[in-house]
Chain A
Amino acid sequence: MTREELLSRKASRNCHGQDSSYFLGWQEYEKNPYHPTTNPAGIIQMGLAENQLSFDLVESWLEGHPDAGELKRDGVSVFRELALFQDYHGLPAFKNALAQLMEEIRGNEVRFDPAKLVLTAGATSANEILMFCLAEPGEAFLVPTPYYPGFDRDLKWRTGVEIVPIRCSSSNGFKITKMALNAAYRRAQKHDLRVKGVLVTNPSNPLGTTMSYDEIDTLLDFVASKDIHLISDEIYSGTNFGSPPFISMAQAVSGRANILARVHIVVSLSKDLGLPGFRVGAIHSNNESVVSAATKMSSFGLISSQTQYLLSQLLSDKAFTANYIRENTKRLKRRHSLLVKGLESIGISCLKSNSGLFCWVDMRHLLNSSTFEGEMETWKKIVYDVGLNISPGSSCHCDEPGWFRMCFANMSEETLHVAMKRLKEFVAEGNGNGGNSCGRSRSKSETKMTKWVLQSSNADATNGKSERFIINRSCPDALSLSIILKSYNTLVVVTVAVYATPSVYLTSTICTISEPTSSPSESEEIKDIIPQMIVATAESRERRNQFRCDRKVEEYEHMRWPMPTSSYGERFRLKVDLKEMQQQSALETVAAEMETKQIYSRSADRKVDSGSVGLMWKWMTGSGYHRIIRLKHQSTLA
């Protein structure tokens, strides 16, 4: 047995996601943290959704109530009873107080029964427990993008559950639509993933927005029609500082008896009260079986009784909670507007938001190319040169490059001013200016592309004239390869996913086209590129030993072409069998294919041969999360 084999697959796998840019930025910050006097040139941490604005309120309460901290009641020690208290039902006094706080935060418009609450060591654990309760390994939950990067760990790592993204876009303020829900559902089905539910964060992390009644209705209708669960992660419910007011799923579902038992709410005191260290999370569910199973599972992550006691005292003080909620949201609102106005003054806008500890910032115009590579480029500049650790949208699985999450409540107002000043200088220096601004005003005639050209990735930054990309943004374990064909007025995503049976044989390939293409010639070209992608994807899987690919495209039964408009956004199953084909001949086939299609490498005079195709694959399948291959329009090479 090798050393690798000594550990489980979960231990060896990378699904905890802690090597992503989200966490890398943190590491950079830790190496060189900003301090106003001792390290004024250090990195300012804007990637941490902490609430430090209202500590003084809790502190002054503690000063007035020393018993709570000192494990006393009316001056007498309660240490003995707390030390032994390990009932997984939790301290009744704490559960009652928590239920009341949840009601108060929701404007007392809904009741929470403490008997339906399950206490967990933080929302991290609450979400994982719900996954364990609701889905089998290999089943899926739909999660709207962009989403909290930690979900890749929390929901998937130990449970074996898959996340299928509900793709939201800036065109409607990243709102969840019926179409996006259905598309995600179908995508899961096409992957043979059984969908067990939808998980939303409301208020949203990273958007900082709350869901409207319409959005919630759409979601609840969807959940009802598909007979699946809904997890509403409401850990930011107490941070709703502006209108429209936050609507809890508990309120929205109250009139819908048919799905009452399928809606589960997750709360926590980490954000609303700013106490992440105390590890207090909870699940509220109307489903008795879920409450019962989750309570038993909470044995794996109970809350310290000492902490339960302290918080039961704190939260039962109604005068305190009322004042805290009011004052905290007031302060958040002020902070939020400081950041929004600061960004505005330097020509950066944010998604309009009303909650959370962060803004969703639109820096698309600062990117040298509107690609995820361009996003990483800008992100690195902001971390290393500007000295701000912010979170790139890609770490939140955002589908559009150029969005960033900036936190505003984990620092002093002075530090926030310093951050704004730095960013202002960065923008004034002309960074990113001229990025793709010319691209946006391109005339329509120029979008009629006839041929794609494959270009080796890191050869050259794009000049912004046209952008065609092959992107594999998925985690190394995912079985898909996508190309995003972005012209000036359309965004076309072609995804090829290769499927393997459990016995590791390649079985079939699935292809997605996200949107109608603008011209027949464009769709012809997409059609042409698909076979190459299939082979490339299959090869890359094999290289990672995910299954044995016998490398032969024996049968390639074509999809209907051109696709009927109604089917866009769907996946099309292509029957492909890659048996008995030698690697070299596969390379040659693709090379020939590219030759025929006049697809050239970056150096226009060099023809594509199997060697360069091999290089391309090697690069594409190399380590790292972002593997991008540029496709350039032939005319731009001239």
Chain B
Amino acid sequence: MNKVVGHRVELSEIATSNTHGEDSPYFAGWKAYDEDPYDPVNNPSGVIQMGLAENQVSFDLLEDYLEQHPEASNWGNGISSFRENALFQDYHGLKTFRKAMASFMEQIRGGKAKFDPDRIVLTAGATAANELLTFILADPGDALLIPTPYYPGFDRDLRWRTGVNIVPIRCDSSNGFQVTLKALEAAYAKAEAAEMKVRGVLLTNPSNPLGTAVARAVLEDILDFAARKDIHLISDEIYSGSVFASPEFVSVAEIVEARGYRNCERVHIVYSLSKDLGLPGFRVGTIYSYNNRVVTTARRMSSFTLVSSQTQKTLASMLSDEEFTKYYIRTNRERLKRRYEYIIQGLERAGIECLQGNAGLFCWMNLGPLLEEQTREGELRLWKLILHEVRLNISPGSSCHCSEPGWFRVCFANMSLHTLEVALTRIYDFTQKSKTIKSLIN
């Protein structure tokens, strides 16, 4: 008897809490997909996964590279290189890899920002990078302000183990979900009213789930706001290499440089190779901070989440090849652009509008007109209908804390063009059917 009770109470609150958010529709949809995944030949009526922001459009480029450079993934003939590599657990990371990362990040920004390899802290993915920064910048009970809609995983990454709160900066469709000073001030006031100490703003730029890059003027406003309130700005730029159309992406790094590094100690950038290079399995994330103490502390903390030295070595070799990286960045952008245009046109045919996007692996789709009622419940009912009837797993805006019902994130780069075509046909059929039903009712 004692035992049963004991087992309930003996774990930590963190272990038993739901803050990891894995019970939300965002993750529930994944489970539905896992149970019945679409396959063009074996399971043509299965669920198509459109909830996963993966980049599969440029794999062949990486494969070709590895084929031509077997030494990148192996240890060549030099036996001692394996030894050295297997023992390398210095939390500074392989110097060659950090240099290659810095230069890759510069290339992505068109050379408009400089990155010092000694400020690069490596982490096993951006998930860990964001958590690390939260541990370093905020105490339990403090708050970070984040514009909505935001990546559902933040509820886990930023809050779960750190005890930090997220206070949403409410953005809406009236201005294309752009962050305004008014919304920033409102969020700040809200946090203060709840007696939370605001420690920073976290921005994803380009935005996940919106698929838009933040305008320079907005970025300037946010940085000014952070300076005025004496708080941090974390700029999560993991989609920076996936900007495929104008307006051009502006990194906070450019603004920091343009301002002569004034107030730069509050600015921290998160980057990863999971999206731009399509390598989530390799777990490579990085923190780039202009604050020396943050760099030192983050490096020490990175002991909990180091990148495999084998993987560092492979990627150091790949990313040091500038000819290859230039070609990759350009080709990957072209392919994403084509994909984006393809899905937008397909959705248009089905009578669906999207927020005008220029980046990312997804579009932000407005199904508001299809809702029976303009509420979160209405949105989730439609989401379930699409999941179970149309057999598409898309992410409801409410899972991204969107303040308006009816928006959905649809990923387009994690499948073949053929699968995308099937998905678009299903959506078309669905909207046609809805129209018919509506007209019949009316």
Contacts and interface: CB of A to CB of B under 8 A. Distances in A.
The answer to whether A and B come from one shared complex is yes
A305 B161 contact: no
B318 to A, nearest CB: 11
A287 B8 CA distance: 11
A9 B54 CA distance: 36
B230 A84 contact: no
Contacts of A153: 300, 303
B73 A69 contact: yes
Nearest to B72: A70
Nearest to B280: A86
Nearest to A301: B305
B159 interface: no
A59 interface: yes
Contacts of A262: 10
Q: Which of A79, A154, A274, A287 is most buried by chain B, counting CB atoms within 10 A of its CB? A: A79
A274 B82 contact: no
Contact of A52 (B10, B87, B156, B311): B87
Contacts of A270: 89
Contacts of B56: 80, 84
B86 interface: yes
A59 B87 contact: no
Contact of B314 (A18, A85, A128, A306): A306
Interface string B15-44: 110001010000000000000000000000
Contacts of B308: 121, 277-279, 303-304, 306-307
A253 interface: no
Contact of A83 (B82, B88, B279, B306): B279
Interface stretch (A131-139, A380-388, A544-552): A131-139
B74 A70 contact: yes
Interface in A323-337: none
B13 interface: yes
Given A7-B297, A58-B82, A84 B280 contact: yes
Nearest to B307: A304
B304 A124 contact: yes
Contacts, number: 229
Q: How large is the interface on A (under 10, 10 to 19, 20 to 34, 35 or more residues)?
A: 35 or more
Contact of B301 (A62, A135, A158): A158
Q: Which of A135, A228, A279 is most buried by chain B, counting CB atoms within 10 A of its CB? A: A279
A245 interface: no
Given A7-B297, A136-B12, A293-B15, A275 B304 contact: no
B225 interface: no
B279 A6 contact: no
Interface in B65-80: 66-67, 70, 73-75, 79
B155 interface: no
Contact of A300 (B86, B127, B278): B127
Contacts of B300: 16, 18, 153
Contact of B12 (A50, A85, A134, A304): A134
A330 to B, nearest CB: 20
Contacts of B7: 261, 287, 289
A306 B72 CA distance: 12
Nearest to A55: B83
Interface stretch (B135-143, B182-190, B355-363): B135-143
Interface residues of B, number: 76
A140 interface: no
B425 interface: no
B161 A132 contact: yes
A298 B107 CA distance: 32
B12 A62 contact: no
Contacts of B304: 121, 124-125, 128, 154, 158, 300-301
Contacts of A86: 125, 274, 280-281, 283
B114 to A, nearest CB: 24
A52 B79 CA distance: 13
B306 A121 contact: yes
A502 to B, nearest CB: 13
A81 B84 CA distance: 27
A8 B128 contact: no
B261 interface: no
B175 interface: no
A84 B73 CA distance: 16
Contact of A69 (B16, B74, B127): B74
A296 interface: yes
B12 A276 contact: no
B14 A293 contact: yes
B302 to A, nearest CB: 10
B281 A306 contact: yes
B280 A83 contact: yes
A132 B63 contact: no
A302 interface: yes
B62 interface: yes
Interface string B258-282: 0000000110000000100011111
A275 B283 contact: no
A227 interface: yes
Contact of B86 (A56, A58, A85): A58
Contacts of A135: 12
Given A300-B305, A301-B124, A79 B137 contact: no
Contact of B124 (A133, A154, A302): A302
A43 interface: no
Contacts of B83: 52, 55, 59
A82 interface: yes
A288 to B, nearest CB: 9
Contacts of B265: 3, 6
Contacts of A638: none
A133 B16 CA distance: 8
Nearest to A79: B63
A294 B310 CA distance: 25
B161 A158 contact: yes
A122 interface: yes
Interface string A248-278: 0000000000100110000000100011111
Interface string A1-42: 101001111110000101000000000000000000000000
A504 B87 CA distance: 46
A294 B66 CA distance: 34
B293 A11 contact: yes
A304 B127 CA distance: 14
B369 interface: no
Interface in B52-110: 54, 56, 59, 62-63, 66-67, 70, 73-75, 79, 82-83, 85-89
A98 to B, nearest CB: 15
B3 interface: yes
Interface in B298-337: 300-301, 303-311, 314
Contact of B15 (A18, A125, A134): A134
Nearest to A50: B87
A92 interface: no
Contacts of B124: 121, 279, 300-304
Contacts of B66: 70-71, 77, 79
A310 interface: yes
Interface in A299-326: 299-307, 310
A276 B199 CA distance: 35
A420 to B, nearest CB: 23
28 contacts: A6-B232, A7-B137, A10-B135, A52-B83, A55-B82, A79-B63, A80-B59, A84-B280, A85-B280, A121-B306, A133-B14, A136-B12, A158-B161, A196-B10, A258-B3, A275-B86, A277-B85, A277-B86, A277-B309, A278-B308, A279-B309, A289-B16, A299-B127, A300-B124, A300-B161, A304-B124, A304-B283, A306-B281
Q: Which 3 pairs show the lowest CB-CB distances between chains A and B?
A: A277-B309, A305-B281, A304-B308
Given A84-B278, A305-B282, 5 more contacts: A3-B265, A8-B139, A62-B74, A275-B86, A306-B310
